[in-house]
Structure 1
Amino acid sequence: MTASNQPIIQEVETWLQQVVIGLNLCPFAKHPWQNQQVHIAISHASNDENLLQDLATEITELLALPSKQRDTTILVVANYLKTFDDYNQFLAWTDALIAQQGWQGEVQIASFHPDYQFANTLPDDAENLTNRAPYPLLHILREASLEKALQHYPHDPETIFENNIHAVQNLSEEQKVKLFPYLFH
């Protein structure tokens, strides 16, 4: 890790701790974070091909390690896919890569972007905050870990998204500025 990556990693770690874990947007994130099983990698790719190579490398490294050592990887896209439309289109390439490499059933990608917008929402709708991060992120999840976590989840998993919307809708403007400073510069 180079020193120039440290501010990026720190910003993503702060987002994870304060937003994802702090607001309990992902009820499965706290345990791997506390056990230091979350790997944050930085991609400085400037085109689809190089970013796909970085993603393939990170997936390969994740699958080569036991989940107790590395349960999940967050690939931060530092300088590319700045618009949500470009990012959203790139997600089709991630699906194609997973299919091509035979990784279906092993990994899936959770998507986050500073301008994330769910279908049929307006840009300023609160629910979009649930997937807004300081950078475009490709969160590589192990399917087996996700299935295991869901088995121990005491509620209907469908309630997670509803609870997340409720959590961000109830944030004051001051809390939004504190938790999502990258949206207010």
Structure 2
Amino acid sequence: MDSSAVVRITENWVRDVVVGLNLCPFASVPLQAGLIRFSVCTEQTPEEIYRALLSEMETLVNLPETEVETGLFIAPVGVDAFDDYLELLYSADEAIVKAGLDGVLQLASFHPDYCFEGSEEDDPANYTNRSPFPMFHLIREAPMARALKRYPNPEQIPQSNVQKMRELGLDEVRDQLQRCREKT
């Protein structure tokens, strides 16, 4: 699949699932303003993807916030296995600290097989973090902090999302993710 198709599918997911279901109440504004950077990694191995992710972090922090508020680094190949993805996520979190970007950037994680610790694989709650492809959300902390100040009870967002997905049920959340792939 080419990079433009990967971006279109990811945009569908952000628009229809993340924003459409209000899983992230902060995503609508940067999406509508064109401030989300969609970056597709063409590397094939976790090591290569890690290096590309570090490069993307550097690129993001060097771009003006008025041009790019947040980024999705999409890795359609190379970390298909959720355990491999998690290993890369932990390494990337450590790299943020080592690079002195703690307090500047944070990562949110999304994967087609995302499964919260202690959850069953078929728990609809996992779909709060399931995405069409493995990806890392590179979040600038400054705009996030501003958004959190304006949002009542942001600490309730994760539990509200879990409840929402469970109410929709496994078939519906699975179908929503599939529809994102079909709308290319």
TM-score by length of 1: 0.92
* Partner residue, 2:162: 165
* Partner residue, 2:3: 5
Query: Do the aligned partners of residues 111 and 173 (structure 1) sit closer, same or farther apart at CA in structure 2, a change above 3 Å counting?
Result: closer
Runs of 5+ consecutive residues of structure 1 not aligned to the other structure: none
1:134 maps to a residue whose letter is P
1:170 maps to a residue whose letter is E
Q: Which aligned pairs between 1:33-72 and structure 2 lie closer than 5 A?
A: 33-72=31-70
* Partner residue, 1:95: 93
Contact map agreement 2:110 2:130 (CA 8 A) in 1: yes
Query: Do the aligned partners of residues 173 and 126 (structure 1) sit closer, same or farther apart at CA in structure 2, a change above 3 Å counting?
Result: closer
Runs of 5+ consecutive residues of structure 2 not aligned to the other structure: none
Which moved further from structure 2: 168-177 or 107-116?
168-177
TM-score by length of 2: 0.92
* Partner residue, 2:175: 178
2:48 maps to a residue whose letter is N
16, 25, 28: which one aligns with 1:27: 25
2:154 maps to a residue whose letter is P
Deviation above 2 Å: which 4+ runs of structure 1? 172-178
Residue 82 of structure 2 is aligned to residue 84 of structure 1: yes
The alpha-carbon deviation at position 48 of structure 1 amounts to 2.7
Q: Deviations for 1:58-112, whole angstroms, at most 9, x for unmatched residues?
A: 1111111221210011000011111111111111110121122111110001000
127, 130, 146: which one aligns with 1:129: 127
Distance in 1 between residues matched to 2:6 and 2:118, nearest whole Å: 31
Distance in 2 between residues matched to 1:172 and 1:125, nearest whole Å: 9
Contact map agreement 2:122 2:170 (CA 8 A) in 1: no
The alpha-carbon deviation at position 176 of structure 1 amounts to 2.6
Identity %: 34
**Aligned-residue CA RMSD (Å):** 1.9
Contact map agreement 1:134 1:182 (CA 8 A) in 2: no
Distance in 2 between residues matched to 1:15 and 1:57, nearest whole Å: 25
Distance in 1 between residues matched to 2:100 and 2:179, nearest whole Å: 36
